[in-house]
Structure 1
Amino acid sequence: MGSKPRILVARAIFPDIVERLRTHFEVEDNPGDGIWTPDALAARLADKDGAFTTGSERIDAAVLAAAPRLRIVANMAVGYNNFEVDAMTAAGVQGTNTPDVLTETTADFGFALLMATARRMAESERYLRAGLWTQWSYDMFAGGDIHGSTLGIIGMGRIGQGIARRGAHGFGMKVIYHNRSRLGAKLEAECKARHVGKEELLRTADHVVLVLPYTPAAHHTIGAAELALMKPTATLVNIARGGIVDDAALAVALRERRIAAAGLDVFEGEPRVHPDLLTVPNMVLTPHIASASVPTRRAMASLAADNLIAFFDGRGPLTPVNRPVAHPRGY
């Protein structure tokens, strides 16, 4: 056995998980939780064998070139669009993510954001806090119904299926979905969901929820043309990734009331938010917190740590995102 592998924990995480990692590795952590520039990240990775990252650290060809010892990067997220996967594979660097452990929590949040958007909760709370509520009126913040309405889901992976079950079984919604590949008959029956084309979904759904992974092909899946297909009474919710919606086009559609409302947990270029989205009233905005329950965030951090430990003890990563990469000799 050689000396312990050296790893970088790029953001602040649960202290006990850092201590668990210290029993297996030499750890450089970041308790101050500052976000490093790409050059600063590369400098810290130069002598590291592994890294524990979040979505805020981009692992690309330039970073990999500066980190010749690097063999694995464990992302504390189900998404990994911060990874340049082909470059990592070419460099012999394993990537991992944290699927499954956040499915139900994220589906809970997606449905909560749908409800808040449809029923104008954020808009009405701002009104109340501003001291503008002086009397009741019959149409004050009247929004759209959820029960019995049509729910359209774009991206029918585990989280999309979780949202479909909540809508169909809990609220009697008619569920339609669009996905790269159709679900099997058993899953469709469990979700009470019907597969349709994207255009039909946009024209038909009362509430559209986006849960698809970000890829270059998915960039601006919802843009001005797609928004123009939606009903003026419809809502749009994005809990997937920034860049799937053209945020500038969405702001225009909301301002012109071409759709009723939108709820976003993710944004293009986050943590920056397109300034026009901040000025339209018919919006619910949250700072990428769909998986933010304490048990789920702990499970995500634990799985990322498990991936690092399993890789270096020779078992191989539990949840790889690129083809298997052999663990380094000597550990």
Structure 2
Amino acid sequence: MPSKRLSVVVTRRLPAVVETRLSELFDVRLRDDDTPMSRGELVDAVAEADVLVPTVTDTIDAGLIGQAGARLKLIANFGAGFDHIDVSTARSRGILVSNTPGVVTDDTADIVMALLLGVTRRIPEGLAVMQRGEWDGWAPTAFLGGRLGGKRLGILGMGRIGQAVARRAAAFGMQIHYHNRRRLRPETEEALQATYWESLDQMVARMDMVSVNCPSTPSTYHLLNARRLKLMKPSAVIVNTSRGEVIDENALTRMLKAGELAGAGLDVYRHGIKGNPDLRDMPNVMMLPHMGSATEEGRVEMGEKVIINIKTFADGHRPPDQVVPSML
């Protein structure tokens, strides 16, 4: 007689192929509409499920985990970031947490380059003029931007995504610099032709462009605070595809308005969804709706990792992508 299938609750709509495979393997409860669960719905989910599959839009804090039933033993996050999950509290309750690292590396790095190009070449301004039907024809001095080639790019966070950004930026002729919690191995550094800066202050003061690619942790909250942002050159551009909390968004907004920074490309914001409203009216700011991982291929691969993590757990083993204390 087959063993009882795990009860799995999925908090958001996932690609159809992922939902179908989850249904084949587990006793799964899928979301009917693509909206975040309410707090009450999340409480019901953790009370009844063996496995919860949340996303970045779900706040899985200590209060919610405290209401989990005895059955809940795995939180299999759909996404690489896990700062919305209180991992320590989950561990104290004997609940494992897994994520989906690596699958969106190239997709996010592509968006970094799109933002760098968009801001430096003033693409949103040109697009807006065309959409309004206000273009009067070519002019020698119209929409003058800058080149990427020859510029110094400082990468904050040289993990998988940071290194993917470095390889792409090098192909554009940029000079690669980075700051990281740990210095890369010499052979990796040489392959990337990357210059390491132990001091973040010293790096940001010398860069033409900065790309934020570090994870969101207590130690990276407002890592680029008002003081550090003021170290940057007025001609510098900053791009953030990591988490909004890494940058002091209010300080960034003030500096952009005052002309103390040349521009910004943002895919993430301080409160997850809506950034500072003043940013939306700035011609030198390119804003995207958290599109870093938004490819069909990437989202399906994320779902496949979720399934592998759950299946491995169901077979009595540690999920291959378990979040461990050293990652916090």
Which TM-score tier does this pair reach, normalised by the shorter chain?
over 0.9
Is 2:17 the partner of 1:19? no
Of the two structures, which has the highest relative contact order with CA contacts closer than 8 Å and spacing of 6 or more?
A: 1
- How far residue 58 of structure 1 moved from its aligned partner, in angstroms, is 1.6
Equivalent of residue 320 in structure 1, options 290, 312, 322: 322
**4+ residue segments displaced more than 6 Å:** none
- Measure, in 2, the Cα distance between the counterparts of 1:132 and 1:52: 47
Q: TM-score, normalised by structure 1?
A: 0.94
**Structure 2 counterpart of 1:189, one-letter code:** E
Compared with structure 1, are the counterparts of its residues 60 and 160 closer, same or farther at alpha carbon in structure 2 (3 Å cutoff)? same
- Measure, in 1, the Cα distance between the counterparts of 2:203 and 2:144: 24
- How far residue 202 of structure 1 moved from its aligned partner, in angstroms, is 1.1
- Measure, in 1, the Cα distance between the counterparts of 2:26 and 2:128: 48
Equivalent of residue 138 in structure 2, options 136, 139, 142: 136
**Structure 1 counterpart of 2:28, one-letter code:** V
Is 2:35 the partner of 1:34? yes
Q: TM-score, normalised by structure 2?
A: 0.94
- Measure, in 2, the Cα distance between the counterparts of 1:305 and 1:33: 20
- How far residue 2 of structure 1 moved from its aligned partner, in angstroms, is 4.3
Is 2:154 the partner of 1:146? no
- How far residue 42 of structure 1 moved from its aligned partner, in angstroms, is 1.0
State the match for 2:295 in structure 1: 293
State the match for 1:77 in structure 2: 79
Q: Is the 8 A contact 1:247 1:277 kept in 2?
A: no
- How far residue 140 of structure 1 moved from its aligned partner, in angstroms, is 2.0
Deviations 1:39-81 (A, max 9, x none): 3211122110001111111212211121122110111111110
**Structure 2 counterpart of 1:64, one-letter code:** I
- How far residue 316 of structure 1 moved from its aligned partner, in angstroms, is 2.2
**Structure 2 counterpart of 1:59, one-letter code:** I
State the match for 2:88 in structure 1: 86
State the match for 1:64 in structure 2: 65
**Structure 2 counterpart of 1:32, one-letter code:** D
**Structure 2 counterpart of 1:66, one-letter code:** Q
SS in structure 1 of the partner of residue 246 of structure 2: coil
Equivalent of residue 210 in structure 1, options 194, 209, 212: 212
**Structure 2 counterpart of 1:243, one-letter code:** E
Q: Is the 8 A contact 1:94 1:322 kept in 2?
A: no
Query: What do you get for the CA RMSD once the two structures are aligned?
Result: 1.4
State the match for 1:160 in structure 2: 162
Deviations 1:261-305 (A, max 9, x none): 100000011212221111222110001111111111110111012
SS in structure 2 of the partner of residue 243 of structure 1: helix
Count of aligned pairs between the two proteins: 322
- Measure, in 2, the Cα distance between the counterparts of 1:35 and 1:271: 12
State the match for 2:10 in structure 1: 9
Unaligned runs of 5+ in 2: none
Equivalent of residue 101 in structure 1, options 74, 99, 103: 103
- How far residue 221 of structure 1 moved from its aligned partner, in angstroms, is 1.4
SS in structure 1 of the partner of residue 82 of structure 2: coil
State the match for 1:328 in structure 2: none
Question: 1:275-290 counterparts in 2 under 5 A?
Answer: 275-290=277-292
- How far residue 235 of structure 1 moved from its aligned partner, in angstroms, is 0.3
Equivalent of residue 220 in structure 1, options 210, 219, 222: 222
**Structure 1 counterpart of 2:289, one-letter code:** P
State the match for 2:129 in structure 1: 127
- How far residue 223 of structure 1 moved from its aligned partner, in angstroms, is 2.3
- Measure, in 2, the Cα distance between the counterparts of 1:19 and 1:75: 18
SS in structure 1 of the partner of residue 150 of structure 2: coil
Unaligned runs of 5+ in 1: 324-331
- Measure, in 1, the Cα distance between the counterparts of 2:164 and 2:324: 26
- Measure, in 2, the Cα distance between the counterparts of 1:99 and 1:2: 30
Q: Is the 8 A contact 1:89 1:322 kept in 2?
A: no
State the match for 1:326 in structure 2: none
- Measure, in 1, the Cα distance between the counterparts of 2:128 and 2:57: 30
Question: 1:232-311 counterparts in 2 under 5 A?
Answer: 232-311=234-313
- Measure, in 2, the Cα distance between the counterparts of 1:185 and 1:87: 37
**Structure 2 counterpart of 1:223, one-letter code:** N
SS in structure 2 of the partner of residue 229 of structure 1: coil
Q: Is the 8 A contact 1:155 1:212 kept in 2?
A: yes
- How far residue 240 of structure 1 moved from its aligned partner, in angstroms, is 0.6
- Measure, in 2, the Cα distance between the counterparts of 1:137 and 1:260: 22
- How far residue 24 of structure 1 moved from its aligned partner, in angstroms, is 2.4
Q: Is the 8 A contact 2:17 2:300 kept in 1?
A: no
- Measure, in 2, the Cα distance between the counterparts of 1:146 and 1:223: 25
**Structure 2 counterpart of 1:46, one-letter code:** A
- Measure, in 1, the Cα distance between the counterparts of 2:234 and 2:121: 15
- How far residue 236 of structure 1 moved from its aligned partner, in angstroms, is 0.3
Q: Is the 8 A contact 1:165 1:190 kept in 2?
A: no
